[in-house]
Amino acid sequence: MTSKPGILVLAGTPIGDVADAPPRLAAELADADIVAAEDTRRLRRLTQALGVQTSGRVVSYFEGNEAARTPELIEALAGGARVLLVTDAGMPSVSDPGYRLVAAAVARDLRVTAVPGPSAVLTALALSGLPVDRFCFEGFPPRKAGERLGRLREVAGERRTLVYFEAPHRLHDSLAAMAEVFGADRRAAVCRELTKTYEEVRRGGLGELVEWSAEGVRGEITVVVEGAPAADPGALGPEELVHRVRVREEAGERRKEAIAAVAAEVGLPKREVFDAVVAAKNAARPAP
């Protein structure tokens, strides 16, 4: 190591087929002073498949130790080390360890770069057959049923295509919750084992996908859901406006921000949504 500050390299790894590994990955694995891996055993299998030998120190960096290990890696970077961060599949930080280390490096004004690689989010989105011009990534839905419903209700009116990760044993329950909140006819695609031997993309309405998943689904799962249709302002009564504001308030938004968000969502003046909320509040007061 030298006195010159080092560099943090975020490297994308294959999400299935090892042949998809970016060409630069092998060189980075060979040259890094430190390789921080989510699973060192998986890293060993990857290096063997690529025919590369790591010359630097290999350390584990996963959810259970990233808080404790981040300061150590930051000091190594400040001392001139080239630190390579890899996760089990895809790009570090995207529903994987990495964000904490990147944020700490940025706070210290240390250089961060990336080796782009395969992405389950973008691969599933491209294969889904759903609109790709605007989308948002929602990560893993909460495990608890109540929290999951609450999170889904927050985005019930989202016009952009939604992308989720999900564990196979929770897929059926999550699809059922999505059908309940978004509607059984909302189009979606379940992408399973992307780039692997048994890759499958199942498309249909959420209700259909709930039935399909009832007997269990295996593999790595990415779910893509069509965004909400454009609301017809004339078709929305005051009760629906009040309901949408209430959902946002229950999710933690202040009333003023919730009213503004609903107004923008449905294409109405903020005053009209505000008046609906005030009228509902007055109607709920007990008679004198």
Residue 4 has pLDDT above 80, yes or no: no
Distance CA 245, CA 256 (A): 9
Q: Residue holding tokens 């990415």?
A: 222
150-165-69 Cα angle (round to 5): 100
88 domain residue, yes or no: yes
Task: Please report, rounded to a whole number, the percentage of residues in the chain having pLDDT higher than 70.
Answer: 96
Residue 1 has pLDDT above 50, yes or no: no
| Residue 137 predicted with pLDDT over 50 | yes
Which region among 70-79, 236-245, 278-287 has the lowest average model confidence (pLDDT)? 278-287
| 205 occurs within a structural domain | yes
Kindly state whether residues 65 and 132 are assigned to the same domain. Answer: no
In this structure, the answer to whether residues 170 and 260 fall within a common structural domain is: no
What mean pLDDT is predicted for residues 46-61? 96
Q: Is the residue at 2 inside a domain?
A: no
Is residue 280 domain-shared with residue 246, that is, in the same domain?
Answer: yes
What pLDDT does residue 3 have?
Answer: 59
**Within this chain, do residues 63 and 102 fall inside the same structural domain, yes or no?**
yes
Tell whether 190 and 280 lie within a shared domain: no
Q: Examine the fold and report which residue of 100, 118, 136 is the final residue of a domain before the chain moves on.
A: 118
pLDDT category at 237 given cuts 50, 70, 90 is confident
List the Cα angle 93/200/197 in 5-degree steps: 85
Co-location of 253 and 192 in the same domain = no
- Token readout for 240 is 């629906």
* Per-residue pLDDT tens over the stretch 207-227: 999 999 999 999 999 999 999
CA distance 239 to 230: 18
pLDDT the model gives residue 231: 66
pLDDT, tens digit, 9 for 90 and up, residues 90-131: 999 988 899 999 999 999 999 999 999 999 999 999 999 999
pLDDT at 234: 65
Residue 15 lies in a domain: yes
Which secondary structure element, helix H or strand E, spans residue 70, and what is its range? Answer: helix 66-78
Number of structural domains found in the chain: 3
- Please, which pLDDT band fits residue 6 given cuts at 50, 70 and 90? very high
Percent of the chain whose pLDDT exceeds 90: 76
Q: Are residues 99 and 129 in the same domain?
A: no
pLDDT for 31 equals 95
Mean pLDDT value across residues 189-201: 96
197 with 243, same domain?
no
Give me the pLDDT at residue 264, please.
78
Look at residues 118, 135, 158 and tell me which one is the last residue of a structural domain: 118
Question: Could you tell me the residue range of the domain that residue 94 belongs to?
Answer: 7-118
C-beta of residue 13 within 8 angstroms of C-beta of residue 90:
yes
Last residue of a domain, one of 202, 225, 248: 225
Whether the pLDDT of residue 45 is over 90: the answer is: yes
